[in-house]
Structure 1
Amino acid sequence: MVKKLLLALLAIPSIATAQFLQNFDASATLPAGWTALNGGDTNTWAIVNYTGGNISAYSGTNTVSIGYSSTAHNDYLVTPAITVTAGVSDFLSFYARSRDPLYPETISVKISTTTPTADAFTKTLAASVAPASGATFYKYSYNLSEYVGQTIYVGFYSTTTDQFYFDIDDVFNGAIPSCDVPSTISVSGVTSNSANISWTPSSTAGATYQIEYGPAGFTQGTGTVITSNTASATLSLPTPSTAYQFYIRSNCGETGFSAWSAVQSFTTTCEVIATFPYVQNFDATTIPSCWLNEAVSGGGSSVWTYVTANGNSSITPRSAPRMAEFRTTTAGNKAKLVMPPFNISALTTPELKFSLANVNWFGDVDELRVYYKANPGDAWTQIGSSYVTENSTWIDVSIPLPNKSTNYLIAFEGTSNWARGIDIDNVSVVDTSALDVNDIAKHNTVKIYPNPAKNVVNIGTDLAVKSIELFSMTGQLLKTFSKDSKQINVGDLKAGNYLLRVKSEGKDESFKLIKE
Structure 2
Amino acid sequence: MDLKLCLDPIINYIQKYMKKNLLKGLMLFSAFAFGSNLNAQTYCDYTITSSSPKHINNFVTTGAIANINNVASGPGTTTPGYSDFTSTVLQSYETQTVDFTIEASNTSTYGVSIFIDWNNDFTFDPAEKVYGTTGYTSLPLSNSFTVPAGTAMGQYRMRVIAAYLGGGTPGPCGQSDAEAEDYTIEIVAAPSCLPPQNIYTSSLSATSAEIGWTEINTATSWNVEYGAAGFVPGNGTIVNGVTSNPYTFTVTPMSDFEFYVQSDCGNGDLSGWAGPFFFSNNYCDFTISSSSPQHINSFTTTGAVQDISNLNSGAGTTTAGYSDFSAIVLQAYETQIIDFTIEASNTSTYGTSIFVDLNNDFVFSPAEKVYTSSGYTSMPTSGSVMIPAGTPVGQYRMRVVSDYLGSTPSACSGSSAEAEDYTLEIVSPPSCLPVLDIDTVSTTTNAVELTWNELNSSTSWNIEYGISGFTPGTGTMVTATSNPFTVTGLNPSMQYDFYVQSDCGNGDLSTFRGPFSVYTACGIAIAPFYEGFNNAAQPQCWDNTSSTVSTSANNTWNFNDQGDYGAANNGRNAGEFTKVDGNSPYADSVMLVTPQIDIAQLNNPFLSFEWFSNNTNNPGDNVPLIIELFDGNSWNFIDTLKGDSPNWEFVNYDLSAYSNNIIQIRFMVNKSVTTSYSYYNDILLDEVRIDDCSDLGGVDGVLNVCRLDNTVNLNDNIIVKPNGGGEWSFLGEPSYLTQDSILTVTYLPTGSYEVFYVERTVCYDTTFATINVFGKSSAGNDGTISVCKNAPINLFEALSGNVDMGGQWFNYTNTLLPNSQPKAENLPGQYNYTYVANNGVCPADTAIVEVDVKADCDFLSVAEEMFTDISVYPNPTTSIINITNPANTASLKVEMLDMNGRIVLVENKALNNASNATLAIGHLEKGVYTLRVYNNEGQKTFKVVKQ
* TM-score (norm. length: structure 2): 0.29
Query: Who wins on radius of gyration, i.e. which is larger?
Result: 2
Per chain length, whose mean CA-contact separation is higher, i.e. which structure has more relative contact order (CA < 8 Å, sep 6+)? 1
